[in-house]
Structure 1
Amino acid sequence: MITQLRVDDRLIHGQVALVWTKELNTPGIVVANDNAATNQMVQMTLKMATPTGKKLLIRSIDDAITVFNNPKASDMRLFVLTNSVTDALNIAKAVPNIEGINVANVGRFAENANESTQLSSTIMLTDSELDSLKELATLEVPVFSQVVPSNAQTPITALLKGIK
């Protein structure tokens, strides 16, 4: 079961490694990202950033979906990271057991960030990512933004108000 699917353009970093893994108390972290699945340098960096005692699995989006839908995974508590709202949408549409989707940090470092719609100080989306977020908000799973656990969860629907 996916305890939290987090959209974070940095994937594993200090905030995720030190704060979220403790908060969610999951034994495993899954990075669902096509680039990370094929890039040895990214994999090495992610492994170095993974907290001691946590298992790390790096898979493409399609392979991660296969893992999540495997009956063996239904009893596991997993913290899943991806760096794209569209990838999160694809996972959410294919995987039934997700407790919550946290759109936390995305789009700030994109090449076309100046052409993006800013929903918060940590969420800047291109038109296609914004469309994916709107669709994600219609699914029957809580979708929110929460940078760190001490912040209140802001429903994505509240951030989308007034956005066409």
Structure 2
Amino acid sequence: MIIQLRVDDRLIHGQVALVWTKELNTPGIIVANDGAANNEMQQMTLHMATPTGKKLLIRSVDDAIKVFNNPKGKAMRMFALTNSVQDALKIAQQVPAIEGINIANVGRFDESKDDKVKLNNTIMLNQAELAALKELAQLNIPLFSQVVPSNTQVTIKNLLKNK
């Protein structure tokens, strides 16, 4: 079961490695990202950022979905990361066992020409990502923004009001 699916531009970094892995108490991290799955340099970097004692799987989004839906995977507590709302939507539509989705840090490195919509200081979405977030908000999965556990969870539905 996915304890938390986090959308974060940087995938694994200090907040994820040092804070969230302890807070969620999962045996490891699954990065669901097509780019990382096909880039050896990025894989090495992600492995270096992974806390000692934690396992790391780096898979394409489609392969990660297979892991999440595998009977062995369903019995494990998993912390999943992706860097796009569209990928999170794809995962949420195909994986029934997700406790919550955290839209934490997304859009800051997006170089698209679209007008971006700023939902808060850490969520800035192009039009495609905004449409995916609105669709994600319609699913029956807790959807929130929380950069670190000590921050209050803010529901995405509240952030989407008037957007």
Name the amino acid aligned to 1:47: H
Q: Deviations over 1:66-86 (max 9, x none)?
A: 110000011100000000000
Equivalent residue, structure 2, for 1:30: 30
Counterparts of 2:155 and 2:6, CA distance in 1: 14
The answer to whether the Cα contact below 8 Å between 2:114 and 2:126 also exists between their aligned partners in 1 is no
1:115 is displaced (CA, Å) by: 2.5
* 2:124 is aligned with 1:134: no
Counterparts of 2:114 and 2:88, CA distance in 1: 23
* 2:82 is aligned with 1:82: yes
1:112 is displaced (CA, Å) by: 3.1
1:113 is displaced (CA, Å) by: 7.3
Q: Deviations over 1:96-126 (max 9, x none)?
A: 0000000000001111377211000000001
Equivalent residue, structure 1, for 2:145: 145
The answer to whether the Cα contact below 8 Å between 2:7 and 2:103 also exists between their aligned partners in 1 is yes
Name the amino acid aligned to 1:124: M
Equivalent residue, structure 1, for 2:48: 48
Q: List gaps (5 residues or longer) in structure 2.
A: none
TM-score (ref. length: structure 2)? 0.98
Equivalent residue, structure 2, for 1:98: 98
Q: Which shows bigger deviation, 96-105 or 113-122? A: 113-122
Equivalent residue, structure 2, for 1:161: 161
The DSSP-based 3-state class of the residue aligned with 1:36 is helix
TM-score (ref. length: structure 1)? 0.98
1:151 is displaced (CA, Å) by: 0.4
* 2:10 is aligned with 1:13: no
Q: Deviations over 1:111-159 (max 9, x none)?
A: 1377211000000001010000000001011000000000010000000
State, as a whole percentage, how many aligned pairs show the same letter: 72
Aligned length: 163
The DSSP-based 3-state class of the residue aligned with 2:23 is helix
Return structure 1 stretches of 4+ with deviation > 4 angstroms: none
The answer to whether the Cα contact below 8 Å between 1:107 and 1:113 also exists between their aligned partners in 2 is no
The DSSP-based 3-state class of the residue aligned with 2:29 is strand
Counterparts of 1:128 and 1:20, CA distance in 2: 28
Counterparts of 1:94 and 1:79, CA distance in 2: 16
The answer to whether the Cα contact below 8 Å between 1:11 and 1:31 also exists between their aligned partners in 2 is yes
The two structures, once aligned, show a CA RMSD in angstroms of 0.9
Equivalent residue, structure 2, for 1:111: 111
The answer to whether the Cα contact below 8 Å between 2:117 and 2:126 also exists between their aligned partners in 1 is yes
The DSSP-based 3-state class of the residue aligned with 1:103 is strand
